[in-house]
Amino acid sequence: MCGRYASSRRAEDLVEEFDVDALRIAAPLEPDYNVAPTKDVYAVVERPPSGQVAERAEGAERQLRVVRWGLVPSWAKDVSIGNRMINARMETVAEKPAYKRAFAKRRCLLPADGYFEWYPTQQTTKAGKPLKQPFFIRPRDGGSLAMAGLYEIWRDPARAEDDPDRFVWSCTVITTDAEDELGHIHDRMPLMVEPDRWSAWLDPTAAQDSLLDLLVPAAPGALEAYPVSREVSNVRNNGAHLLDPLPLEEVVE
């Protein structure tokens, strides 16, 4: 799964990197080195022009949006369902009721510096459970990860029609089996979308039967993983130091 990641790039840098047409955010997000579920994150989406439906849209606008991590389907009674819908499995994303409508029309890219996974070590806690060592996994070339995601727009029935907060934008990360080099840390990993496939993935009019072909695990060797401080396990901790490689003498084995 992908349950924690880092996102420190500025909105204006993401606009340039992802060739965004419009910045649709009320205020920029602060750099976040410990992004956890229910937090606000950046998402790149393509929306049809105002007044057009996705099936007939022409000239869709690529936008940078702020969304809540944890997908809230349009039929949900409240936002709490999103707390457990942070990941969607590639193997079932096109069929599961919670995801299939978003997969068909509302796909996004979720920019990240990298993501965290926890490896169960031979050591145990006082409760007898395996002590876990966190690893940070990032592109070896220092670039951004463009994680494949879905987004939804949920209307809060308790809010008035003229309430600007009545619509909640939310997202989920699509995951797949981890490639061999990373599989020993965790058996799942986020799916990446290569730059030459961004337009096809974001296109709200794309034929659904071709979408899964656009998603690929990172190429072997493209990502690097290294141990980091267990401080990242506490969501209250933040800061660039969480991405620093842990000295070998401090790594739990």
Catalytic residue among 46, 117, 152, 171: 117
For residues 35 and 142, the answer to whether their CB atoms sit within 8 Å is: no
Tell me whether residue 2 is one of the annotated catalytic residues.
Answer: yes
How far apart are the C-alpha atoms of 204 and 122, rounded to whole Å?
47
How far apart are the C-alpha atoms of 121 and 130, rounded to whole Å?
6
Residues 6+ apart with CB under 8 A from 30: none
Instruction: Provide the sign of the torsion angle of the four alpha carbons 81, 70, 3, 30, taken in this order.
Output: negative
What is the phi-psi region of residue 8: left when phi exceeds 0, alpha when psi lies from -120 to 50, beta otherwise? alpha
DSSP secondary structure letter of residue 164: T
Catalytic residue among 2, 46, 108, 152: 2
DSSP secondary structure letter of residue 80: G
Residues 6+ apart with CB under 8 A from 100: 93, 94
Q: Determine how many CB atoms are found less than 10 A away from the CB of residue 113.
A: 22
Tell me whether residue 152 is one of the annotated catalytic residues.
Answer: no
Q: Residue 241 — φ and ψ, nearest 5°?
A: -65, -20
State the catalytic residues: 2, 117
